[in-house]
Chain A
């Protein structure tokens, strides 16, 4: 046994404590300027930018489980900006741009991998919508092209060009499409935020929200009550439940979303590929495993169980796209609960309660927006409630005036 190991074994002074990525847990203070409910990517990114750009560090992130253990740990990490509406494309484009610099910024490898994302069209109607998406994307500086079957074959030689007897007519080739290690994104933000003085409290569940005269003044938790100047709610699948503690009713329904992964194989698939008709997307990780997923479960539920039904239908589609996958073994299947809005766009900004800010409605598409959400939510908080222009279209009251931002077609087949 090396001598140094023996030495540390016998002393209380462990070498890694002072270099640890996250500080040791502390008691809750009585007051914070900002309380962030939810220690997923969105919550910690908001804290990070509050500290970094606005010098606000009297901030507590309250997380009922562990850092990044919610949907941040469950998503399939598709990063893209090829949406349909100008509001959406503009917003997601900035997020993709920010993602590209994160490893450097954190000095921590988030394994950002820019492989491009390909969506397949099997009908004329889909080809038409792809044309529109191509043009909107180019307009806002994204790299997206409509490509023909020959180009698709060259990009993905192993793809069946006639899956389930639905010939592939064209592809939406999004060159900026990428993936990254989702856990690392949460860890990088958490490390940067806590180094600047933000407190991260894991195993700390918010059980109540104190509202006085229409204004939030504090929260209660399983570890006692704290008062605060404002609250940011970033709890994804639990959005309606937490909002109801503040007396807020939301235009959200919670559905499970499942995904699965096979045993690793040799690299064969560079781009992320999704089929608009089969509702299935397939991608190969840096470790060689094939990750695939599809649409949400067919009915609402607060439960992260996996189902045989989904396994059967999704596997059938995946094997249609890549027939050789029939010989592979599945390694894992899992689910997250997703906060779905009816227009497949998020809910960001003000709420009916003063100083209570919402970052919700992220459904099946919110990992890619983590950086820009953090940045814009931090701006919102630091300015005392001045809504940044970029997120103004996503205010909750858009539903009251029927001004939805419809991204359903650009979201349902690939997240």
Chain B
């Protein structure tokens, strides 16, 4: 059994978590080109390194960020997204994207 440390709930079985994809900057869908959007949606470096990724603790409904090595599977750090995102991101279709997109 592999454990992951949830910033909210402490160490839990990895099967309680859902993978949510790499943390990456989202282009503004109103102004970016099709190619830029395709790049964001489909393409990835997909290399061997430490990456930051979104994870979801499903029983408590909590999203957080983890740093994990993509070959050793070692989880180096998990933290609350507020470390990276200070304000709420609005995905609304009217205004486009604003807020602290990293």
| Residue from A241, A250, A308, A402 in contact with B38 in the complex, judged by beta carbons closer than 8 Å | A402
Judge whether B34 is part of the interface by a CB distance below 8 angstroms.
yes
Q: Is the CB of A309 within 8 A of B46?
A: no
Q: Is the CB of A399 within 8 A of B38?
A: yes
Q: How far is the CB of B62 from chain A (nearest CB, A)?
A: 17
Q: Which B residues from 49 to 82 make CB contacts under 8 A with A?
A: 53, 70-73
Q: Is the CB of B14 within 8 A of A399?
A: no
Q: Is the CB of A300 within 8 A of B46?
A: yes
Judge whether B85 is part of the interface by a CB distance below 8 angstroms.
no
- Knowing A302-B71, A305-B73, A309-B1, the reply to whether A402 touches B34 (Cβ < 8 A) is yes
Q: How far is the CB of B67 from chain A (nearest CB, A)?
A: 13
Q: Which B residues from 22 to 64 make CB contacts under 8 A with A?
A: 34-35, 38-39, 41-48, 53
| Residue from A251, A301, A308, A342 in contact with B73 in the complex, judged by beta carbons closer than 8 Å | A301
Q: Is the CB of B44 within 8 A of A251?
A: yes
How many of chain B's residues have a CB under 8 angstroms from any CB in A? 23
Please give, as numbers and ranges, the residues of chain B lying within 8 Å of A309 by CB-CB distance: 1-2, 14-15
Please give, as numbers and ranges, the residues of chain B lying within 8 Å of A302 by CB-CB distance: 48, 70-71
- Knowing A241-B48, A399-B42, the reply to whether A301 touches B70 (Cβ < 8 A) is yes
Whole-angstrom distance between the alpha carbons of A400 and B71 in the complex? 28
Q: Which A residues from 275 to 331 make CB contacts under 8 A with B?
A: 298-303, 305, 307-309
Whole-angstrom distance between the alpha carbons of A298 and B70 in the complex? 13
Q: Is the CB of A252 within 8 A of B34?
A: no
Judge whether A254 is part of the interface by a CB distance below 8 angstroms.
yes
**From A301, which residue of chain B is reached at the shortest CB distance?**
B73
Whole-angstrom distance between the alpha carbons of A308 and B1 in the complex? 6
**From A252, which residue of chain B is reached at the shortest CB distance?**
B46
Q: Is the CB of B38 within 8 A of A400?
A: yes
- Knowing A303-B71, A305-B73, A309-B14, the reply to whether A240 touches B1 (Cβ < 8 A) is no
Q: Is the CB of B70 within 8 A of A240?
A: no
Q: How far is the CB of A302 from chain B (nearest CB, A)?
A: 4
Judge whether A95 is part of the interface by a CB distance below 8 angstroms.
no
- Knowing A298-B18, A301-B71, A400-B35, the reply to whether A251 touches B42 (Cβ < 8 A) is yes
- Knowing A241-B48, A253-B44, the reply to whether A298 touches B19 (Cβ < 8 A) is yes
Please give, as numbers and ranges, the residues of chain A lying within 8 Å of B15 by CB-CB distance: 309
Please give, as numbers and ranges, the residues of chain A lying within 8 Å of B43 by CB-CB distance: 249-251, 399
Q: How far is the CB of B39 from chain A (nearest CB, A)?
A: 8
Please give, as numbers and ranges, the residues of chain B lying within 8 Å of A400 by CB-CB distance: 34-35, 38
Q: How far is the CB of A412 from chain B (nearest CB, A)?
A: 16
Q: How far is the CB of A279 from chain B (nearest CB, A)?
A: 15
Judge whether A150 is part of the interface by a CB distance below 8 angstroms.
no
Q: Is the CB of B72 within 8 A of A303?
A: yes
Q: How far is the CB of A353 from chain B (nearest CB, A)?
A: 16
Please give, as numbers and ranges, the residues of chain B lying within 8 Å of A399 by CB-CB distance: 38, 42-43
Whole-angstrom distance between the alpha carbons of A254 and B41 in the complex? 16
Q: How far is the CB of A336 from chain B (nearest CB, A)?
A: 15
**From A299, which residue of chain B is reached at the shortest CB distance?**
B19
**From A302, which residue of chain B is reached at the shortest CB distance?**
B71
Q: Is the CB of A240 within 8 A of B46?
A: yes
B residues lining the A interface (CB < 8 Å):
1-2, 14-15, 18-19, 34-35, 38-39, 41-48, 53, 70-73
